[in-house]
Structures are given as C-alpha cells and as structure tokens.
C-alpha cells in the first residue's frame, strides 16, 4: 500500500515541490492550503494531486481534515509541516496580530497536525514527520522576531518530539532552508535581497526542488535511523 502523505501549504512554493516529489516517489499525497483557491486548483489540475482546504492554525479544522484523510486513504504516515508566512517588521512596528499570525501559522500548525497524526503513526509503528524550519530560526534576521522565534521553536519542537516518537518507529526531523526563490523571498525589498544573495557562498538562491529532495530523503523508509536532526539546505550561508 502506498504511504499516505500530508503536506501543509502544499500547493505553492516549497510545499508544491515537496508534494510533487512525494507523488513521484509513489506516495498518496494530500496538499493542504489555507486560502488561495485559484493556485490550488491550478496545482491540482497540473499535477493530479489532491488538495484540501483548511486552516492549519485551527485545531478543530485540522481534526476534521485528518479524520477525513484517514477515512478516505488511511492513516497519515508522512507529515510535512510546511505551512508558513512572514509578517516582517522591526519590533517597534510589529503588532501583536503580526506576532500571533506568524506563531500560529508556522509553529501552532506543527502542534496541531503532529498531535492529530501521532496516535495513528504509533499504531502503525511507522511515521515520518518533517517540519520546515529556516536559516532565520538558526541565525536570526533583522525584522523577524516573530518568524525567527517561530522557526527556532520548530527546531526545538522537532528535537523534543523525536524523543517521543523514536520507540515507535516515528522519525521527526527538521529542514532549515536558506533563501529559496519563492514568492515569500521575492517579497523582500530588492536592495535587501541583493545583499543577502551576495552572502550565499553557492552564489544563488535555492530552488524549491533543492528543499524537496531533502524531504524525500527524510521521509523515505531508509531514513529510519535519522531522527531529531536539522538538515540545513542553504548554499553554505550558515553552518550550524
């Protein structure tokens, strides 16, 4: 039986590349999205991947979605917590709403979906969880106390949960992407982005596929002994 994989934020950017890579590896993929129906429909039409709309910040919505997936396809065995947003501003200009939105979407969603899929993975004695962190959670970034706090939280969350999953064959790992050519990074002011790219030893932005290949490895059956780790994919920009 093909393993069932849920990718949050799986219809655009890094998430879309992850969904496609998992599909090509023979997984049954469900790509979730929060609001952009036009992009989700186009993605589904192009790839044939099933999409599902729910708010990953909302615990009850996640519970309904995971139950629906289990009823249709079976228990989730591969979970990629990729949903993420930025609301950049220096702390004096950052509102409480900007803080909450980023913490809820990036970190709260990991809690919701890991909690809701963990019992099923335990029962199956198999699970692969990959949480998408960030170089900015490792190194910090000016104007991102919310995002860096959330992503750094993901790295701690990953290590703690890996200890809970190990005895059941559930691995929990993080990937820390560097600057990847997506809409999120293209929203950085050009003069700021130019300086950032100049500091990437590999001399280019990452591609979504660079990150997807890491997810493919960490979610493979063969990666059974890799847990609690953070894989940095950043072109040498930060070594942690």
Please give the positions annotated as active site. 147
Distances (CA, A) of 90 to 54, 71, 94, 145, 164: 30, 45, 6, 8, 36
* Minimal distance, residue 178 CB to ligand CAA, in Å: 6
Spatial distance between the Cα atoms of 61 and 155, rounded to a whole number of angstroms:
24
Stretch in the footprint of ligand CAA (CB under 6 A) among 21-29, 31-39, 88-96, 166-174: 88-96
Say whether residue 83 binds ligand CAA (CB under 6 A): no
Residue closer to ligand CAA, measured from CB, 130 or 135: 135
CA 140 from centroid of its chain's CA atoms: 18
Q: How many residues bind ligand CAA (CB under 6 A)?
A: 20
Q: In what order do the strands lie in the sheet with 78-81?
A: 50-53, 28-33, 4-7, 78-81, 127-132, 170-177, 230-233
Cα–Cα nearest to 82, from 163, 160, 36, 19:
19
Minimum CB separation of residue 9 from ligand CAA in Å reads 13
- Taking contact as CB under 6 A, which single stretch among the options 9-17, 70-78, 139-147, 220-228 is the one that binds ligand CAA? 139-147
Asked if 25 is part of the footprint of ligand CAA (rule: CB under 6 A), the reply reads no
| Alpha carbon distance 206, 222 (integer Å) | 25
Q: Are 23 and 29 in contact (CB under 8 A)?
A: yes
Residue from 2, 42, 90, 123 binding ligand CAA (CB under 6 A): 90
Which of 141, 162, 227, 232: binder of ligand CAA (CB under 6 A)? 141
- 144-163 residues in contact with ligand CAA (CB under 6 A) are 144, 147
91 binds ligand CAA (CB under 6 A): no
Which of residues 52 and 85 has its CB atom nearest to ligand CAA in the complex? 85
Binding-site member from 26, 35, 48, 189 for ligand CAA (CB under 6 A): 189
Question: What CA–CA distance (Å, rounded) separates 56 from 82?
Answer: 10
**What residue has token string 């849920």?**
6
Take residue 76 and report the two structure tokens written for it. Answer: 């989730």
- In the DSSP assignment, the letter for residue 134 is -
Residues of the shown chain interacting with ligand CAA in the complex, contacts defined by CB under 6 A = 86, 88-90, 93, 134-136, 141-144, 147, 177, 179, 184-185, 188-189, 192
């Amino acid at each position: 039986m093909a393993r069932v994989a849920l990718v949050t934020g799986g219809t655009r950017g890094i998430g879309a590349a992850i969904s496609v890579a998992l599909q090509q590896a023979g997984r049954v993929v469900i790509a979730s999205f929060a609001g952009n129906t036009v992009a989700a429909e186009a993605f589904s039409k192009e790839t044939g991947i099933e999409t599902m709309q729910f708010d990953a910040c909302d615990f009850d919505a996640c519970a309904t979605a995971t139950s629906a997936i289990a009823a249709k396809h079976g228990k989730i065995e591969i979970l990629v917590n990729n949903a993420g947003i930025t609301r950049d501003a220096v702390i004096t200009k950052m509102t409480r709403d900007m803080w909450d939105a980023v913490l809820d979407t990036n970190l709260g969603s990991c809690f919701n979906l890991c909690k809701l899929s963990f019992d099923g993975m335990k029962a199956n004695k198999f699970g692969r969880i990959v949480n998408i962190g960030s170089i900015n959670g490792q190194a910090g970034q000016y104007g991102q106390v919310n995002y860096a706090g959330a992503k750094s939280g993901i790295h701690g969350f990953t290590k703690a949960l890996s200890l809970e999953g190990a005895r059941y064959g559930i691995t929990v790992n993080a990937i820390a992407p560097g600057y990847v050519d997506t809409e999120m990074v293209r929203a950085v002011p050009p003069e700021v982005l130019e300086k950032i790219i100049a500091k990437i030893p590999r001399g280019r932005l990452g591609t979504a596929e660079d990150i997807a290949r890491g997810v493919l490895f960490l979610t493979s059956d063969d990666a059974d002994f890799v847990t609690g780790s953070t894989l940095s994919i950043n072109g040498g920009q930060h070594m942690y």
